[in-house]
Every structure is written in structure tokens, then in C-alpha cells.
Structure 1
Amino acid sequence: MPRRTATMLASTLVLIALLCAGVLIKVPYSEMSPGPTVNTLGDAGGEPVLQISGRKTYPTSGHLNMTTVRVTGADYRMNLMETVYGWLAHDSIVVPHSTLYPDGKTEEQSTQENAEEFTQSQETAKVAALKALKLPVATRVVVASVVKDSPAQGKLHAGDVIREVDGRKVEEPGDVAKIVTQRKPGEKVVFTVVPAKEAAAAEKAHRAQPTATEKITVTTKKADDNGRAIVGIQAGTDHTFPFTIDIKLADVGGPSAGLMFSLGIVDKLTEGDMTGGKFVAGTGTIDEKGKVGPIGGIQMKTVGARKAGAQYFLTPKENCATAAADVPDGLTLVRVDTLDDAVKSMEGIKKGDTAGLPKCSTG
């Protein structure tokens, strides 16, 4: 065999071996890429994303898009070739698998957690929007969950509104534990509650303060970790709104759409057009006071937004530096720290007066 032919054959075999290795060798990395972006002012799956009844709404135009990120599954292991390609690609990010699935979290656990966060983000988005509009929102302490085989099981139920514990008024979730732990294990605690069914009926009828209460006696037991008295419930907060706001969006998880949901609600409940027909996208968690929080995958969200046609991207203050390091052409990053910030920036975007917008920078 001629020497040149032998060299070419050897090189080809080495290349084939490297390609096979690249496909067969699994590495502990996962990939993030741009996910779907949905207009909160528009439709998804054939029905409006935001559905408001019992209150006058106003016509809207343009876009207020929430953005998402796609990630590889918890059980999927990237091969070496996929990882190298992901590192080189502009529209994806490769991160350690443990970043997306810490402590061996399964895909099912991650999906469940994301679903719970998404549901909570919808609730806080409604609260933030209505508070921004100076509309009444009633807050109440509820039984968020009941521990299996605990003293409270079968007596207290998720959704029960807790009015009093041992005759003392409950105003914050933390009040429940404070009162219960003043008892000794084995002693009885009396809960004054509005049953979950009555509370749900009152909420449906937009009655902020249901009155049908019951007294439930629960015998405490000793906690395994510190020996204090417990009954086995987790207290939380719930809200009653003066009219119905439904958010219809399937197959989305996590808390990062909160800001855009709030803006969409404000736009629909406010006379006049918030966007001026512009295409605005954004992201960010939101709390009940309208504070906007940071999210993950910001660079993938800006890429996805620009591909969808966005001209402006509302960016949480704490994500600004990362987002500004690689901005898609034609996209303006607008820094927001609160819902009020976002509404004010939308006024400038609508008028085309963008010189004064708070922009993101790498500094």
C-alpha cells in the first residue's frame, strides 16, 4: 500500500474513532436554549391568556410577551459532541447538569416544582397588578398543606382559612406556629377556621370575608427535630379578588412570567393602550408589592424574544449585566426593578421617547 494512501486511511480511521467517541462519551452537562414566547395580551391554545370577568376591560394592541427557556431533561445525558457544539453555538448555553437539577432532583420533581412556582407567580402577579391600580385585595391566612399521619390530618384541610388559634387572632402565617409552640406536646389547640369549601364559595362570589366558622380541636405532638409542640400543618396566604382573573397557559413552569402577567393585567384594566402597538417582551419574578426579581437563562430569553420580533426587553435589574454582555441586534434592554418602573418605561416606549429609558449595561 502506498505510503500516502496508508496515511490517509489512518487519518480517516482516527477521525471516525474520534467521532464515535464524541457520540458515545457522556458528560455531566445540560443545555439551555430559547423556548416559546407568548403574548400575554393575546391567545394561546385558542383562548385568551388573560381572562377577566366582573370588571370592565379595555382594548389592547401590540405585544407584552413572556419568555421561556428550554432545557434538556434530568435523565438525558449529553454526549461530548453535543456539548462542544453547544459551547460554540450562539443560541444555546451548556451548563453543569447539577445547575439545573441539584441534589439529584428528578425530572418529575423539577416539573412539579416548576408547576407550583408558576401557579404562585400567577397569584402574586394578580395581587401586584391590582395593588398598582389601587384596587382592593383581601389577604387571609390559610392551611397550605397538611402533613400525612399528623394530628391535623382529617381535621384541618388545605384551603381552610385560619381566623384564630386558641382564641388569638391570626394575621400572618408565622402567627400559627408561634401560638402552637407555646403549648406542650400532648396538649390541645383550638383552631377557629372557615372551611375550605365555604372559603372557595365566598371567593367565587367575591365575598372577601366569609363568616361561617368552625372550631377544630387538635392534640399536639412532639416535633422530631426540636421537641416542640406541632400539629402538622403548613400555614400560608391566600387572596380574594374583587373580580375574576384567570390566566390560561399550559406547559409553562417557573416563576419568571410574573412581571409580564402583571403588566398584561394592568393594560387590560386601564383605559388606553399601554404598548402603542410596539412589540415588548420581558421576564422577571414579581412579589405582592411589585418588586421584580432575577431569573435564570436571561441570554436565551433575549435571543428567543428577538427571534419572535421583540424590539424592547424588560430586564430585571439583577440580570442586566449578564444580558447586556451579549445583546441580540435590534433589541433594547430596559432595566426594571419594580412594576411601577415597568409601567413608566412602557409610557416612554409607547410615545417613542426612548432616550430616557433606564437601559442595561455591563457595568
Structure 2
Amino acid sequence: MYYSLPYYVSKPGMAKELAPIIEVENGHGEKGSFMLTTVRMGRANIYSYLEAKFRKYEEIYPIEMILSEDESEEEYQVRQLQLMASSKLNAIEVAYRKAGLPVHYEYKGIYVMQVIPGMPADGKLKAGDRIYQIDGQEFVSSEEFINYISQKGPDEKVTLTFKRSNEEKKVTLSLKPFKDEPNKVGIGITLVDDKDIVVDPKVKVDTEQIGGPSAGLMFALEIYNQLTKEDLTKGYRIAGTGTIDVKGKVGPIGGIEQKIVAADKAGADIFFAPNEEGSKDSNYQEALKTAREIQTKMKIVPVDTFEEAVAYLEKLAEKK
């Protein structure tokens, strides 16, 4: 019954209040709450597969729809956590700039997201390793890291200094041409910047092991609300979802139906859903359909940008 199948199953997760996990130094309080919403996702076994077949708002996905090509489950988890980390950085930048406060970044190195089989890093590096030196040199961006490597030829060696589980390690690798790009050499990793955001007042966002980028909008709203005197919640329980980029644009996510169910169970009054500029099959339209099916009293609000969400809340009357 518990043999793993080549599928993943998703089901409604939780709606979690953000005030306990986001703390702006000397930030302002709120009468209501902002909540992120989650989807529970896991590898299917026979039991969970059959359950999902017959339960509404549970979905079955072939494994190739979840994992990228040659990506292991460990690498998938690292990718999800890194997407969450990037989402937090974007949300902080959007909220602080909206509040008229400066934002700076401190580059620390790169994170290994995936190791390509058959390339020099295979078996030497793993997803989650943080590389901060090459041949004893530090860089100020991942572009500089890539440029340094690309200037070398096949079989030339580079020594990487990296951290794994807070332990410093070194490895020397010989560069090798990529299978699909024989004129390009490398060590065979996909990477993302490791950087800290520097703001005043300081902000702490503790998401533990929650992964993915979909809480970006709600993070930004909670952070901005703590930065400003006016309480945007006005006593309401406000849930929602949507990625956010550094310009405040809200993007679509997966599992909107399950998130509507989770928010309704948590007693949310309002739910922000990505509008996708009015697309007929947008997250917002899917959210409306699910809201009607479960007969929730929760108001579904379409948004394309962080500014739109703030403007909606600013015009909202206080909850009686």
C-alpha cells in the first residue's frame, strides 16, 4: 500500500497567520490578520493515489510535471525552499520601497540548485551547497562567477570553497563541455544568488520548511502593514496567494482550488487571487468557481499588483 508511485498528490493545506512569523523591528500591530495559504504535496502511494481519485480538491500529477529533467526529490525540495527565499526578498523590497524606505543587497555567493549527471560536479557537489569562493576569489554576483568559469577551457581546473550544513569544504574540479552546448564548458550545476537584503528597520521572516514562491504577495502586505501606522487589515482575516516580483507584479500559482478550501476552513473574510490581467482561465476565475462550489462567504478579490491590493484595503470599511 505504501509503495511509491510515479505520481504526486496535492491536497488543501493550511492558512497560516503571518504576524507570528514576520517581525518588523518596532513594527505596528494589527486588529485582523494576513494569512498565507498552502497546498500539501507529496509522493503518491497506492493509498493516497486512490484517495485522490475519489476526493474533490485533491489532484494527481505525473512525476515529470513536478520534477525538472534529471532533478532528484532532494533537489526539488532545495528548489522549493530557494523559491521561498527569493519570494521573501522580493516581498521585503516591494514593501520597504512602498513605505519610502531604502533597500540594499549584500551578495554572499551562490546556491547549488541542481547537479547535472555526468558533469564534473556530479558526486562532488549537491543541491543546497553554498559556494562563496573560486580559486580563492570572491565575487559580487553570480554573473561574475559564470564569466570566470566561461573564460577557461576544457580540462582546466577550478577549486571551489563551499559550505554544506555549516561545514566548510573544498573541491577541485576539471571543466568539461556541456553535452547540449559543446562550445561551452562548466562544472555542471544550476545556480541562484545567495544574498541578504539590508533594510532599516530590520525584518525577520521565519518560514521554517515552507517552500515555493506563492506567498510573496501576502508577505509584502504583512511587512508593509507593520511598517505603516494605518492598519490595512481593519479587523478582517485576509488570506491570499500569488508570486511577487521586485516591481510588485503578482503572478499565478498552482493549487488555487485547494488554497480557497484552506482559507475558508480558517475563517478568512477576504481572499486575494492573481487576476492574470483578466485571463479567462486565471487563478481568480478558478478561485471564484471553487468559492461558489463550497458556498463560502469569503470575498474573492482579483489583483494584478501589490499596489492594487493595498488600494483595495485602504478603501475597505472597518469590520463591525
What TM-score results when the alignment is normalised by the length of structure 1? 0.64
1:60 paired residue among 27, 30, 35: 30
Distance 1:61 1:351, change over 3 A: closer
For 2:249 and 2:286, locate their aligned partners in 1 and report how far apart those are by CA, in whole Å: 20
For 2:286 and 2:43, locate their aligned partners in 1 and report how far apart those are by CA, in whole Å: 25
Distance 1:136 1:188, change over 3 A: farther
For 1:131 and 1:96, locate their aligned partners in 2 and report how far apart those are by CA, in whole Å: 39
Instruction: Tell me by how many angstroms 1:285 deviates.
Output: 1.3
2:102 paired residue among 127, 132, 136: 136
Q: Point out the structure with the larger helix share.
A: 1
Letter in 2 for 1:126: I
- Are 2:127 and 1:173 equivalent residues in the alignment? no
- Are 2:262 and 1:262 equivalent residues in the alignment? no
Q: What secondary structure is seen at the aligned counterpart in 2 of 1:288?
A: coil
Distance 1:74 1:172, change over 3 A: same
Between structure 1 and structure 2, the one with the greater Rg is 1
Moved more, 32-41 or 305-314: 32-41
Question: 2:120–2:176: 8 Å Cα contact kept in structure 1?
Answer: no
Instruction: Tell me by how many angstroms 1:187 deviates.
Output: 7.4
For 1:27 and 1:283, locate their aligned partners in 2 and report how far apart those are by CA, in whole Å: 29
For 1:240 and 1:181, locate their aligned partners in 2 and report how far apart those are by CA, in whole Å: 28
Question: 2:106–2:198: 8 Å Cα contact kept in structure 1?
Answer: no
Instruction: Tell me by how many angstroms 1:178 deviates.
Output: 4.0
Letter in 1 for 2:296: D
Instruction: Tell me by how many angstroms 1:264 deviates.
Output: 0.6
Identity over aligned residues, as a percent? 30
1:98 paired residue among 63, 72, 76: 63
For 2:49 and 2:131, locate their aligned partners in 1 and report how far apart those are by CA, in whole Å: 49
- Are 2:80 and 1:111 equivalent residues in the alignment? no
Letter in 1 for 2:284: C
Deviations, residues 286-316 of structure 1 (Å, cap 9, x unaligned): 1222221111110111111112111110111
Residue of structure 2 in register with 1:125 after alignment: 91
For 2:72 and 2:187, locate their aligned partners in 1 and report how far apart those are by CA, in whole Å: 30
What TM-score results when the alignment is normalised by the length of structure 2? 0.72
Residue of structure 2 in register with 1:11 after alignment: none
Residue of structure 1 in register with 2:177 after alignment: 223
Residue of structure 1 in register with 2:167 after alignment: none
Letter in 2 for 1:242: V
* 1:295-306 mapped onto 2 (5 Å cutoff): 295-306=253-264
Question: 2:153–2:185: 8 Å Cα contact kept in structure 1?
Answer: yes
For 2:72 and 2:196, locate their aligned partners in 1 and report how far apart those are by CA, in whole Å: 32
Q: What secondary structure is seen at the aligned counterpart in 2 of 1:238?
A: strand
Instruction: Tell me by how many angstroms 1:242 deviates.
Output: 2.6
Q: Point out the structure with the larger strand share.
A: 2
Moved more, 218-227 or 335-344: 218-227
Letter in 2 for 1:286: I
- Are 2:197 and 1:240 equivalent residues in the alignment? yes
Distance 1:196 1:136, change over 3 A: farther
Deviations, residues 139-171 of structure 1 (Å, cap 9, x unaligned): 355420478966xx9xxx946499xx99xxx87
For 1:105 and 1:184, locate their aligned partners in 2 and report how far apart those are by CA, in whole Å: 27
Residue of structure 1 in register with 2:54 after alignment: 85
Letter in 1 for 2:290: D
- Are 2:288 and 1:324 equivalent residues in the alignment? yes
